[in-house]
Chains A and B, each alone.
Chain A
Amino acid sequence: MTTVPVGTASDAAAERLRRPTRVRLLWFAASLAALALIVAASVAIGSRDVPLPAIVAALGGGGDGLDAAAVQTRVPRTVLALVVGAALGVSGAVMQGVTRNPLADPGILGINQGASLAIVAGIATVGLTSATQYAWVAIAGAAVSAVVVYTIGSLGRGGATPLKLALAGAATTAVFSSFITAIVLPRNDINSVVRSWEIGGVGGARWDVLTQVAPFLVVGLLLSLGSARALNSLALGDDLAAGLGERVALARITAALGAVMLCGAATAAAGPIAFVGLVVPHLCRLLVGVDHRWLLPYSAVVGAALLAASDVLGRIVARPAELDVGIVTAVVGAPVFIAIVRRRKVREL
């Protein structure tokens, strides 16, 4: 008869638990290095060829003429791509945690479209102009649609399954699209503004836009990062999380608010961009596992890298024109989404 010791851990077991931390730090350093490379590429590459010395000169504030002007528009553009990418990555990771849904994404769940509708309605009725106004309206729209989608998605048997949430998101998106069409169709004056904004891009980045949405992003990020430990408990299911001493409703609302602020502000700054919030957390989970304390910072870094890389890609493939980053992420992200769906067992959907 063997007996199993209960309550003491051997040194070997403790050592095994510590080892992944080193691996995670290593991967984090690698991601940061990749990010640095992408940033360099984003500043160096564009529809206009600028030689390296001129780039360095322009960054130093010197240089002259068209070369310097081209580089100087690339800098805020790169920063905006990084910020929006990080926001969407974290927002997606938090949404996947809060809904325990591997397919959650601000685009798929229709939250971007809610923000879009709010902004389009704002442009059409009261003539919104500043980025701060955009951000407030977008966050309100995102929050309302998040509540609507989650409520519809949890109807019926079995609660909020990934399938039902995705369907609710798609249905809500379709309704909001109809409203946007209904608003825009009779208004030739705002037609092209709305259409170019709807695609999602970072091409028109300006420093003042960035500074206006920054406060929203910072608050959203803090709320999200602060929820990391709670998200780990929620991953075990509501009952078990409550049993572990988590205040489930409060934790969920805090985390969701953080996610909504991040994606609302990102949408206000760059238009609705789909699939970044979906793909990034999945990628990060492969690298660091499911611990949200690691997953969220990773998602920020990888999200920033992914969006900046997509932006560079859009500038390369369509030369001399540019492909908006929202198109690139949709075309690149949808196959990843399909791959995730195909890999899952049917019961998990």
Chain B
Amino acid sequence: MTVAHTLEARSLSVGYQDREVLRGLDLRIPPGRITAIVGANACGKSTLLRSMSRLLAPRAGQVLLDGKAVHRTPAKQLARTLGLLPQSPVAPEGITVADLVGRGRHPHQGVLTRWRTEDDEAVAAALEATGSVELADRDVDELSGGQRQRVWIAMALAQQTELLLLDEPTTFLDVSHQVEVLDLLTDLNRARGTTIVMVLHDLNLAARYADHLIALADGAVHAAGAPAEVLDAGLVEAVFGLRSTVIADPVSGSPLMLPIGRHHSG
């Protein structure tokens, strides 16, 4: 089922009111791989994700999906290829897990079409993939943070898109749940060939899980490439303004960044 979809931005400029956040940014998302976007606070990571999924209209330049501008693609058609999980999604009060995951079928349904067997199958598969079948009849309100995040990812899976964009999928999770979510996304990528693009706060987890790392600074791409090639002390200094040393991760061999701070010498 892997059709290699290409997603790229060309001289993309995006802003809110009088503030320009992205300034003529160019990037290419490698199809079928996991891409992590990193950068300091307020450097435009979320803005980039939102404009790649058509939520924000560009001031100049464009975002191209398979060579077609996403802002001229009908919303539902786009939503069948590209899914988005925003940073802190809100569940309506009193909704059950199965129903929330079922909302992911929205782009596959017309105004008058009824719920079909394939919709049920997609929901069941998404619940299974995220290990949340047992939660199906529970209220989303009752779930723990980690369970809730799995359910949201299940909703994005039920959408059955070949591209999945996630804005900080690990925020508010403790470290074991962070790893669980990232392992799950890796499973998806390996089994289905789903292209995954995520904004991550934790530079070391990004380096561990991503095939491709994009570092943003000042509304433009500062560096992009395999983590082992782009992540070094110079990049951390330039992007985060932080002195650090980068060593090889003893577990995976990927780069591991250690901050230095004012009270030690590097």
A residues sitting closer than 8 Å to B (CB atoms) are 1-2, 156-157
**Contact call A1/B262, Cβ cutoff below 8 A:** yes
Partner of A156, one of B93, B262, B265: B93
Closest to B263 in A: A1
Contact residues in A for B93 (Cβ distance below 8 Å): 156-157
Closest to A157 in B: B93
Contact residues in B for A1 (Cβ distance below 8 Å): 262, 265
Contact residues in A for B265 (Cβ distance below 8 Å): 1
Number of interface residues of B (CB under 8 A): 3
Closest to A156 in B: B93
> Smallest distance from the beta carbon of B147 to chain A beta carbons, Å?
17
> Smallest distance from the beta carbon of A103 to chain B beta carbons, Å?
22
> Smallest distance from the beta carbon of B100 to chain A beta carbons, Å?
16
> Smallest distance from the beta carbon of B144 to chain A beta carbons, Å?
15
Cα–Cα distance between A20 and B103 once the two chains are bound (Å): 55
A-B pairs with the 5 shortest C-beta distances? A1-B262, A156-B93, A2-B262, A157-B93, A1-B265
Chain B contacts with A in 61-113, Cβ cutoff 8 A? 93
Can you give 5 contacting A-B residue pairs, CB < 8 Å? A1-B262, A1-B265, A2-B262, A156-B93, A157-B93
Most chain B CB atoms below 10 A, which of A2, A156, A157: A157
> Smallest distance from the beta carbon of A164 to chain B beta carbons, Å?
13
Closest to A4 in B: B262
Closest to B262 in A: A1
Closest to B93 in A: A156
Cα–Cα distance between A290 and B93 once the two chains are bound (Å): 36
> Smallest distance from the beta carbon of A232 to chain B beta carbons, Å?
29
Closest to A1 in B: B262
Closest to A2 in B: B262
Cα–Cα distance between A2 and B263 once the two chains are bound (Å): 10
> Smallest distance from the beta carbon of B202 to chain A beta carbons, Å?
24
> Smallest distance from the beta carbon of A221 to chain B beta carbons, Å?
41
Cα–Cα distance between A156 and B94 once the two chains are bound (Å): 11
Contact residues in A for B262 (Cβ distance below 8 Å): 1-2
Contact residues in B for A2 (Cβ distance below 8 Å): 262
> Smallest distance from the beta carbon of A153 to chain B beta carbons, Å?
16
B245-265 near A? 1/0 per residue, CB < 8 Å: 000000000000000001001
Cα–Cα distance between A192 and B93 once the two chains are bound (Å): 45
Cα–Cα distance between A2 and B265 once the two chains are bound (Å): 13
